[in-house]
């Protein structure tokens, strides 16, 4: 019950932060890139699956990590986005995004609380930077980095929360864990597909 209450509180806080921002965006055109940032994580299946998977994995690990894992990912995304905005060289970030799907999908398929935490947090740092870098590089030239970043962070947090909700549901209804494992395998397959495209194995 306490976990469910915490999830409702986070959703409420997210909504409170989102509503005035959306109002400002509508009153100021694109609000310096807020809308572009808000919608960017929703424009690619790879980004969306990764964000949701982070939330699912954090719920499967449980305890304090249910919030720490997404926070580390988002913090790393900010670092990556700044690297992208300032054109700091980073090679093969798209391959990193594809590999993130493979790794996150495998972790969900295993659904094992004994996954080494150092490995999980290392994944969050590396994969967060790759995803953030892609966001930063693709930022419209006319957009304000601050508004754009605020937009994609809110969108990312919402996707994380969706993942947390899915993971929490599976944890509390054990009969759903099997389906979640299958979904994790499917996410890994999607990651392999993107990886094969990235290295030119398939067109």
* Cα 177 from chain centre: 21
- What is residue 89's DSSP assignment? -
d(CA 185, CA 57): 13
Using the structure block, give the residue that is written with the tokens 């995304």.
77
Is the alpha carbon torsion for 50, 54, 55, 59 positive or negative?
positive
Cα 156-161-167 angle, rounded to 5 deg: 130
Residue among 95, 107, 101 at smallest CA distance from 133: 95
Q: Please report, for residues 45, 78, 121, the alpha-carbon distance to residue 152 in angstroms, rounded to integers and kept in the order given.
A: 15, 10, 21
Structure token digits, residue 59: 């719920």
According to the model, what pLDDT value does residue 32 have? 62
According to the model, what pLDDT value does residue 203 have? 58
State the SS3 of 1-48.
CHHHHHHHHHHHHHHHHHHHHHHHHHHCCCHHHHHHHHHHHHCCHHHH
- What is residue 86's DSSP assignment? T
d(CA 45, CA 41): 9
- List average pLDDT for each run of 10 residues in the chain, which is 203 residues long: 44 40 37 76 87 94 91 94 87 91 93 81 95 84 78 91 93 84 94 89 67
According to the model, what pLDDT value does residue 201 have? 72
Which segments of 28-116 does DSSP mark as H helices, in order?
34-39, 45-61, 65-85, 93-110
d(CA 92, CA 90): 7
């Amino acid at each position: 019950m306490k976990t469910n209450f915490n999830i409702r509180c986070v959703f409420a806080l997210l909504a409170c932060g989102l509503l005035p921002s959306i109002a400002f965006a509508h009153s100021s055109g694109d609000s310096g890139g807020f809308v572009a940032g808000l919608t960017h994580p929703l424009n690619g299946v790879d980004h969306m699956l990764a964000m949701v998977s982070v939330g699912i994995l954090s719920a499967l690990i449980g305890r304090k990590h249910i919030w720490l894992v997404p926070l580390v990912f988002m913090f790393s995304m900010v670092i990556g986005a700044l690297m992208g905005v300032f054109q700091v060289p980073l090679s093969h970030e798209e391959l990193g995004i594809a590999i993130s799907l493979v790794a996150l999908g495998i972790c969900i398929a295993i659904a094992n609380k004994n996954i080494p935490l150092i490995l999980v947090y290392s994944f969050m740092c590396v994969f967060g930077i790759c995803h953030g870098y892609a966001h930063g590089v693709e930022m419209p030239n006319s957009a304000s980095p601050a508004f754009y970043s605020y937009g994609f962070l809110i969108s990312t947090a919402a996707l994380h929360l969706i993942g947390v909700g899915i993971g929490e549901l599976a944890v509390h209804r054990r009969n759903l864990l099997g389906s979640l494992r299958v979904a994790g395998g499917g996410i890994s397959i999607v990651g392999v597909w993107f990886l094969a495209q990235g290295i030119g194995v398939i067109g």
